[in-house]
Structure 1
């Protein structure tokens, strides 16, 4: 590597031209970048939960619940009712819509002189008081009571069934069309699109806005920090050009490989801007230090690269290890994030080693940066000596802090519900709140009952099992509005016999279902398979927190196991979006454990090998253990959950935070090898490495802190927490390591 760095210094224009050409070529793939915020994609495709959801979608159509929520002071105003009807008609004409159920076109079964007939709830929009009262009576006597119009008459919903034949992921496109359509109808009524697909659509749009806002914001924040640190055009522009190129290459690689931008990978360009600048900062800092001493550009560059080659390689490899450790995560977007960001860090390292020295070499030496961070460095050196004089007390304080953090971490919870990522005033939350408050829930849970034989569902015993499941589901907290073929059969039978019950024979069931179909009943395909071997029971689940959804899933599965585990006639499976959320929670916990272990081990091994010391490999991790303990403890105490974004903090903190330890330990080892006494070595280490560590930590702190302006609550918390870990890990390296080194050498500093 040293030979190639020397060649880049000797032939700088070659390095500059190669960098420019490669950047232009790879940027050509950028327009192919796509976005995807589907919650189900946080789970591997071969996961049983996803396979079950795909199977039930193949058999019964989409299990995604898309609703239009309308809220006003009085839903029975003529203008509002007319708007609901017109909106329903226009929704039906949209591509990707299979069926629409509104307060007027919903089908009900009525007795007639011919036996029964299937009719709409209303063939006209009620206008007079008499018509409205007649409609209310008809609605309240139907299965749609409190389902389409709320009990307090202030809200209504339109239920949309997406076309089961549309390509996966296009439901979000449909949600976008619905959002545009609803906007044209809004006012004075509140009208919102609600459901999984709209949540994914809104998340994708939010990600696009975040990239357009956060990327330039982080860029300009770093510019300001570097200007304050270096007061030099070179010191500002070169690190920023480096990180801009590395971010460009990383995002273009995503487009080239077909990796979609998700709630996790949207952080790639922003994080690379913050993280990728570290190596350039250290090189520029050391270059100006030598330039002040020698006032000769070539000598300063030569000395800088000799000093910084090994630390840059070490810190880059450990940072890459921190990110690549996320590949062990069971969550696909987290794995992609780790790989792509790791690639970006490698690019930033290569640019720092070849591109920055090459550009410095061709630029005229017009400035001699006499202003430096000597004041900060001197303070850091003195602080190191101060804590080294009381090593036992320093170590005790850190141990105590770590123990408190570990105690708080036991309160940590996981969150797999994507709605918790959004702000409370966002349309996706406002619409969901209406449905939750007025209609009981916006998530659809599905129980599949498989008889393994054709027409098996027509048997009264099987229908009674569907009825039993329905009856149980509505007793579970957060669950409402259960429905199945059993309810439809009872409605049909009531029209025929005036008895609301399941007929006693399979023949009677088959005859009634046939007549229902002939009369225009079109909703059976959503509840039973074509050859009547499978049926589903659906229910709405409140979009509560993951812990509540976990309780729902456990309660329902315990019931199903208890009632049907030994049933030889049917096989029962629970699926739906609540099950996906439950599974995602489990994935977050596993992701956290695996990334923490793999990153810690990988970083320790790399430092051990490169510094040829197991002790230094261990020491490099100790400040990070304290940092991560404090982070988890703070999250637990303040009720910040582990989610798709915050679950990455530990791996990132280790990969980035270890840089401070490496720079500190590398400088300390160099001082001791030169025969410097312990006190002077600690002071000199603080002075020499302190400026770079201070500026690097400040850059990362402000870079991550800018994420608090994100439109995602999860990313705001990620930015704040990661910014805090950057400061704490730097401070720990500068204060804990001197104390440990003094203890190791068993020397007393006066």
Structure 2
């Protein structure tokens, strides 16, 4: 049955395609229109990618925190580090800026010098009142100096939130939590925030720094959107240029571009059909389809031109293109799709969606290549002689001769070089690190990234780290023992240079004591036991708007949060800080409280580590699946081992390069290995399949078969590898560090894989010929990727019987 599929099925497919050309083209057009209509369902991601599954303990804790306190990432920070801001004109402009933001419906609240409140003791009514620091516009420099002195020297409650010791002043803009993860946020940033900032800078000449997760996420997402068109354009240009260089034919280049452009349209349509968001990963799929689709076009068009050069019969040539190259290309596309499809088994939504869409589109681009190329050529005249000249290029012959001579005479050199690279790679792998940074992959040349670094330097970071304290009883947060425990934990945060000044209910308790004892800064401490009762009485009698930090305690008084911000540091440091905080929490709160660490910074760190575990699992599955395929194809365990060596070695070399170059394992670079393995194994399949055929044709003469397979497949492998190398190199023009690393590493891996398959694989076959390459070991295959040579009667596309000579059937 399997042999019938191999010999008869593809002949039937060829006849169906070429006898129903109009219908097939109409079906492709209809499918393209249908998928084009799905573009309206495409959505761009407005949240950070959550790399953890929903039921992961860290995710469960984070969702619990959000359910209690709402979205944490709703803060936009504006800052100026320039003494010129403290002049009457500029200071008034600074205060007007905050008024402008406060008037916007998308803004929940603004804290700045313009509306800053001082806590004042009302001894007569035994309560606290609020007094404005600034009343109206200032007229003189003396007024500005007085306000500055009061803020910087007497209001430690606002330190880190609104100012620092170096003279930098800030304004905190809190967005409405309901819009933070919607398109409204994007519209607000671009239509309101950016124009207001530009107008302020033009009016004052001051350099206004802006940061905060809503602002960063919006600009970063827009960069992703902008780069999609850049990647698609660059991929089309570079691949078409290389294609034309190889084939020197405008129409061959045009046909290949038609195929991949339709493939890109389908890719967007499938994203919309599945209602998946466009993320930093799914944005890579359209250019990936171009890069992977062009090698398909090379195989089909190269075979068509070879057949035309051989006998000049167009009908026969097109039928052989489909029946022979269709079978081989299907196998290689299946293995490539399998490399991507392994991400589907992960529990990470981000990777799962990427794996589903990528694997579907790889099969789709194969189907498009199989259908469109033969049909379009069937309507065209035969290629001219000049379009076939590339088949006889001297430099290609020289390259093939170099490969053959190296395998024939320098196998020891090949093994020594491979072993040396392996040893160096192992050394490099030992130096590789894991990155859990939220901002490492962001475009470092962008202005907003420079602002991130500014806030890290001035205020110790922008990545939120939250500590949720559950006192297990109503109003338990307001008890003095709870406040003291929280204060002890906050002291550790203050002493940790990678963390910013914490904010919590503890700060308000200290400010209350300062206000009660005359507003002197030295009294900014927690109340003593004998002071707490009377100060609590003052707080209870105060107006509701005195509670400046109500967002740090829930409505029942059971839960409290401590918010700090973390610098962009390495995973090792983050884990050390996490361990120190957990140790302090265990010793301070013991079993009386439930205290959890959470926040975007921690979730992203855990997500990155989770992906590393999934990388090992998905890569192992890819190796297993492809091994099964090789076993089914060749029915030889030894051949499986030999076929894996030239594909695993490039992966180890790439991992070693990452260690030496300081490229960390992170969500973007984690894809390198599965992608590269799924693509590079295609060359192995092509070579071994041709080698298997040559063994039978040459009466199991090993050396002759190896050299014949090398000459036959070397050119196509070289062509496709060059296209893939430069195609993936397109990603290196990205402004995202992770995308640059992905492009460079996959390109390097595929280049090493080409050399391994052209030099190491045939060397292994020759060196181990007695143990692997004989009839007992290399049995009759289940699939023949390249059909056997034989003589039979065929019918042409136009109903004419042709006696096809065996030599013309040859691949």
**TMscore range, shorter length:** over 0.9
Partner of 2:86: 76
Please point out which of 142, 161, 178 is paired with 2:174.
Answer: 161
How far is the alpha carbon of 1:123 from its aligned partner? Answer: 2.3
How far is the alpha carbon of 1:263 from its aligned partner? Answer: 0.9
Matches within 5 A, 1:32-47: 32-36=41-45, 38-47=47-56
How far is the alpha carbon of 1:174 from its aligned partner? Answer: 4.5
Partner of 1:184: 199
Structure 1 CA distance, aligned partners of 2:83 and 2:383?
Answer: 72
What TM-score, normalized to structure 1? 0.94
Structure 2 CA distance, aligned partners of 1:291 and 1:41?
Answer: 53
- The answer on whether the counterparts of 2:444 and 2:735 sit within 8 Å (CA) in structure 1 is no
Q: Tell me whether 1:138 sits opposite 2:150 in the alignment.
A: yes
Between 642-651 and 388-397, report the one with greater CA deviation. 388-397
Structure 1 CA distance, aligned partners of 2:650 and 2:145?
Answer: 65
How far is the alpha carbon of 1:402 from its aligned partner? Answer: 1.8
Q: Tell me whether 1:341 sits opposite 2:361 in the alignment.
A: no
What TM-score, normalized to structure 2? 0.87
Between 283-292 and 166-175, report the one with greater CA deviation. 166-175
Structure 2 CA distance, aligned partners of 1:607 and 1:747?
Answer: 18
Matches within 5 A, 1:673-684: 673-675=696-698, 677-684=701-708
- The answer on whether the counterparts of 1:385 and 1:683 sit within 8 Å (CA) in structure 2 is no
Matches within 5 A, 1:146-545: 147-153=161-167, 155-166=168-179, 168-169=181-182, 171=185, 174-176=188-190, 177-187=192-202, 188-368=205-385, 369-374=387-392, 375=394, 376-377=396-397, 379-497=399-517, 500-502=525-527, 504=529, 508=534, 510-518=536-544, 520-545=545-570
Q: Deviations over 1:208-253 (max 9, x none)?
A: 1101211011101111111111112343122222222222212211
SS at match of 2:743: helix
- The answer on whether the counterparts of 1:477 and 1:552 sit within 8 Å (CA) in structure 2 is no
CA 1:403–1:117: 2 relative to 1, 3 Å: same
Corresponding pairs, count: 745
Structure 2 CA distance, aligned partners of 1:575 and 1:127?
Answer: 46
Between 388-397 and 428-437, report the one with greater CA deviation. 388-397
SS at match of 1:69: strand
SS at match of 2:603: helix
Partner of 1:87: 97
Structure 1 CA distance, aligned partners of 2:620 and 2:381?
Answer: 48
Q: Deviations over 1:676-723 (max 9, x none)?
A: 643332332222212211111111111111112112121112111111
CA 1:746–1:675: 2 relative to 1, 3 Å: same
Between 646-655 and 322-331, report the one with greater CA deviation. 322-331
User: Max radius of gyration: which structure?
Assistant: 2
Q: Deviations over 1:567-622 (max 9, x none)?
A: 22x21111112212321221232232122211111122123223444333333322
Structure 2 CA distance, aligned partners of 1:661 and 1:632?
Answer: 21
- The answer on whether the counterparts of 1:588 and 1:642 sit within 8 Å (CA) in structure 2 is no
Structure 1 CA distance, aligned partners of 2:406 and 2:565?
Answer: 62
Partner of 2:3: none
Structure 2 CA distance, aligned partners of 1:191 and 1:373?
Answer: 61
Q: Tell me whether 1:685 sits opposite 2:709 in the alignment.
A: yes
SS at match of 1:659: helix
Structure 1 CA distance, aligned partners of 2:269 and 2:569?
Answer: 37
How far is the alpha carbon of 1:487 from its aligned partner? Answer: 2.1
Structure 1 CA distance, aligned partners of 2:747 and 2:493?
Answer: 44
Partner of 2:647: 624
CA 1:440–1:517: 2 relative to 1, 3 Å: farther
Partner of 2:723: 699
CA 1:121–1:469: 2 relative to 1, 3 Å: farther
Q: Tell me whether 1:9 sits opposite 2:18 in the alignment.
A: yes
Matches within 5 A, 1:530-609: 530-564=555-589, 566-568=590-592, 570-609=593-632
SS at match of 2:45: coil
- The answer on whether the counterparts of 2:13 and 2:323 sit within 8 Å (CA) in structure 1 is no
- The answer on whether the counterparts of 1:671 and 1:685 sit within 8 Å (CA) in structure 2 is yes
Between 251-260 and 346-355, report the one with greater CA deviation. 346-355
- The answer on whether the counterparts of 2:731 and 2:744 sit within 8 Å (CA) in structure 1 is yes
Q: Deviations over 1:640-675 (max 9, x none)?
A: 112221110000001111111111111111111101
Partner of 2:805: none
CA 1:321–1:609: 2 relative to 1, 3 Å: same
CA 1:138–1:284: 2 relative to 1, 3 Å: same
- The answer on whether the counterparts of 2:438 and 2:601 sit within 8 Å (CA) in structure 1 is no
- The answer on whether the counterparts of 2:505 and 2:560 sit within 8 Å (CA) in structure 1 is yes
- The answer on whether the counterparts of 1:414 and 1:642 sit within 8 Å (CA) in structure 2 is yes
How far is the alpha carbon of 1:408 from its aligned partner? Answer: 0.4
SS at match of 1:602: helix
Partner of 2:39: 30
How far is the alpha carbon of 1:373 from its aligned partner? Answer: 4.1
CA 1:79–1:597: 2 relative to 1, 3 Å: farther
Unaligned runs of 5+ in 1: none
Structure 2 CA distance, aligned partners of 1:418 and 1:460?
Answer: 36
CA 1:273–1:20: 2 relative to 1, 3 Å: same
SS at match of 1:714: helix
Partner of 1:610: 633
- The answer on whether the counterparts of 1:549 and 1:578 sit within 8 Å (CA) in structure 2 is no
CA 1:73–1:457: 2 relative to 1, 3 Å: closer
